Amino acid sequence: MWRFTVACIVGTLAFWAYTQTLLAGGDLGDTGGFQAAVLWPEVSARQAYPLYYNLARPFVLAVSAANPARGLNLFSAVLGAAAVGLLTLLCATITGSLAAAVAAGLLLAFSYTFWSQAIIAEVYTLHLALVLACCLALYAYAARPSSSRLAIFFIVYAVAFGNHLSVILLFVPFTVFLLLVTPRPRTLFRPATIVMAIAIAAAGALQYWPNLMATWHQLDAPATWADRLAAFWFDTTKADWRESMVLGVRGDQLVERAGMWWFDARQQFGIAGLLLALVGAIRLWWISRPWAALVTLAYAINTVFAFTYNVGDTHVFYLPGHVFTALWAGVALSMPVWPAPGFALRASDFALGASSDRSSGKKAGPYEAGPDLRTAARTLSGPRAIAIVAILAYAGWRGWDTWPAIDRHNDRRADTLVTRLTFGVNQQNAVLVTGLNWQLENALLYSTRVERPDVAWVRLPDVMLHFPFLVRDNASISRDIVLDSHAAADVVAAYGAAFPLVQDPLLPAPDLGDTVAQLPPGTPYVFCLLTPPREEHLDPVALDAILATLTHGHAPDAGMGPYQLIAGLSGEAPQVTRSSDRPFRETFQLLDDSFTVRMESWLPSDTFRRAGFGHVLRGREHVFILERGVNFVWFDRNARPSSPIYAAGLYAPGPRYRIPSATPALALVRLKPELLVRLKPDATVDHR
């Protein structure tokens, strides 16, 4: 009973922290895609998370049908809290220690990456909850091996494949554990057991039936059933890009990857937490060899996979390793304070589900502690008590330290970008044509499905071949064609001066140079430059001119490292400058305020991070999130921060362009001539 009570308390504490820092609305990337699809009636074969959608849909309908984005974010918070509670329960059952259980749960709850995934719509909190549910099912089987308990484990494991296929990485650790705890391991290979496993696996695979049918009945489905199955497998496993990314890290990148792994581990638990986990990893071999084998193999396999997985968000694939690290850290504090399963003493006893009194050889029942455990439970030495209090305080401090950086309850940048892109566009007056990055496109997809269904929107690649006819037909009903900057550039590249493209006067793009030039002297500011994405262009000449204005000619070299910080008062020499090849924290004073800049990414390997690439804090106030590219914020005379200004990055708002439905002559009357722009040096704009 105590185990469940403590697990619920720790999980509830985590849930409270997640709800206070929860992203309120939409987001870019996969999060925006999940938010757009959760209540959408159509199923795509590429929506390869059927269990996630099947659980999330009724939750969102019940809790937040009017705002699916927030409802799905909250769903992650619930599952994150559940994962924390399950880890607390698992650690308690293995060690019989209240301190161990609480420490493990809190360290996971307040780890940076897990927290960042628990406040947005993502599949990873459910993934980790299912991994821990599998471990608890294995615990129940080990306590009393039977076919029914083995079947329960098979069912949980099969269901987990409906959420994230990476659970296959746990097949070997789980198999080794079963072999170690089964009294007669040969029984695992009996025909009846194998048939049961295959039948349960097949039933679990039925979760993907709607995805298969979506492939089967789409208009461009392959002709033969074999080709349709191949297409389904291709989409479900995303084999088109995974095959180039799994084990896709070159040999000359391994040292850099090792640095990334070490940074990521310290970011979650700190040096003290990692040292505690090392002690726990050693101690677990003494407590229970089956559990030690499972956790060690699971950590090693998942970490090697993430280490060699050449993808832009490698950090999320270290998450299973974080769970096992937190478990190890808890095990290090495993001085029991309540009766625990005696089989945790030795591997041989674990397999039999009974404990032994080492002095007499007498066996206790499976849920009775041996005399040595009861004695230990009655005596808690002063130094050990101090150590336990210190570790629990450390776990709490990790939460205190992470909170202001991870807090996204005021983050509405995705909504702002989409609102800007769709401003003034509706089905009556215009069609929006985009060539957006996939991350931005998912945010737009959510908005046009849920918030702005009146926006007529198409992707440029879908209409490029018949684009002239699209323009002609919409002009005939007096609808403009509105394009983002990428789509406009592609249209000019393909069709030259065939269309009278004009820059949209309704939405001038904010300019960093103009903003800096207009700042009054003595205005506090923070300027950060992180290596821009590969697809973005940063003009070094323009940047040097902006920094010269900002720093009164005292700007440092802008090309020294992937992480750069300049802070001070406009029109004066900067008070703080720092350039580094590695992430850092910098604390400084501007006027009477204390600031901290935290670089929370690993460049250049990280290409996208839902929690941002870094943060600017004023005291414990989260001022703004740093992204790859230029980041700038200034403070008015009342010390209020400006809206963040981004350039040469994902969140940089580019200009919009129009192909007016009016005749070119009327367009010149309606739109100021100076707004007519040339998109490419070799292209001309029709001025007639």
557: burial class by Cβ within 10 Å (0-12, 13-18, 19+)?
A: exposed
* pLDDT band at residue 610 using 50, 70 and 90 as cut-offs: confident
Q: Cα angle at 314 between 308 and 318, to 5 degrees?
A: 85
User: How much is the pLDDT for 508?
Assistant: 72
Q: Position 497: which residue type?
A: A
User: Secondary structure of 1-30 in the HEC alphabet?
Assistant: CHHHHHHHHHHHHHHHHHHHCCCCCCCCHH
Give the helix/strand (H/E) hosting 178.
Answer: helix 171-181
Q: What is the pLDDT of residue 43?
A: 82
Is pLDDT at 129 greater than 80 in this prediction?
Answer: yes
Give the N- to C-terminal CA distance of the chain in Å, as an integer.
82
Residue 680 has pLDDT above 80, yes or no: no
Band (pLDDT 50/70/90 cuts) for residue 246 is: low
Question: pLDDT category, 451, cuts 50, 70, 90?
Answer: very high
Pick from 259, 270, 414, 316: nearest CA to 116: 316
pLDDT at res. 21: 98
Please state the rounded mean pLDDT for residues 212-226: 78
Q: What is the dihedral of CA 207, 210, 216, 218, to 10 degrees?
A: -150
- pLDDT number for residue 558: 57
pLDDT at 537: 85
Peptide bond into 604 cis (omega under 30): yes
Residue 241 has pLDDT above 80, yes or no: no
**Greater confidence, 239 or 580?**
580
Sorting pLDDT into bands at 50, 70 and 90, what band is 245? low
pLDDT at 423: 93
Q: Are 310 and 249 in contact (CB under 8 A)?
A: yes
Closest listed residue to residue 340, CA positions, set 366, 362, 363, 378: 366
Q: Residue 350 above 50 pLDDT?
A: no
d(CA 103, CA 327): 9
Q: What percent of the chain has pLDDT over 90?
A: 71
pTM of the model: 0.88
**Tell me, what's the pLDDT at 627?**
96
Give the pLDDT confidence score for residue 434 in this predicted structure: 96
pLDDT reported for residue 380: 54
Provide mean pLDDT across the span 360-379.
39
Q: How confident is the model at residue 369 (pLDDT cuts 50, 70, 90)?
A: very low
pLDDT value at position 280?
A: 96
**Considering the chain, what is the average pLDDT of its residues?**
87
Residue 632: CB atoms within 10 A of its CB come to 21
pLDDT at 674 over 70: no
- In contact, 652 and 515? CB cutoff 8 Å: no
- Band of pLDDT at residue 348, cut at 50, 70 and 90: very low
Q: What is the pLDDT of residues 260-287, one digit of tens each?
A: 999 999 999 999 999 999 999 999 999 9
Token pair 């084999």 is at which residue?
239
pLDDT of residue 587: 97
* Neighbouring residues of 354: CB distance < 8 A, sequence distance ≥ 6: 342, 343, 363, 364, 365, 366
Q: Report pLDDT digits (tens) over 144-178.
A: 999 999 999 999 999 999 999 999 999 999 999 99
457-482 pLDDT per residue, tens: 999 999 999 999 999 999 999 999 99
Give the pLDDT confidence score for residue 214 in this predicted structure: 81
Residue 222, pLDDT score: 79
pLDDT for the residue numbered 244: 57
pLDDT at site 376: 42
Mean pLDDT is lowest, of 84-88, 359-363, 596-600, for 359-363
Give the tens place of pLDDT for each residue, 508-554. Answer: 777 899 999 999 999 999 999 999 998 888 888 999 999 999 999 88
Rounded to an integer, the average pLDDT of 653-658 is 91
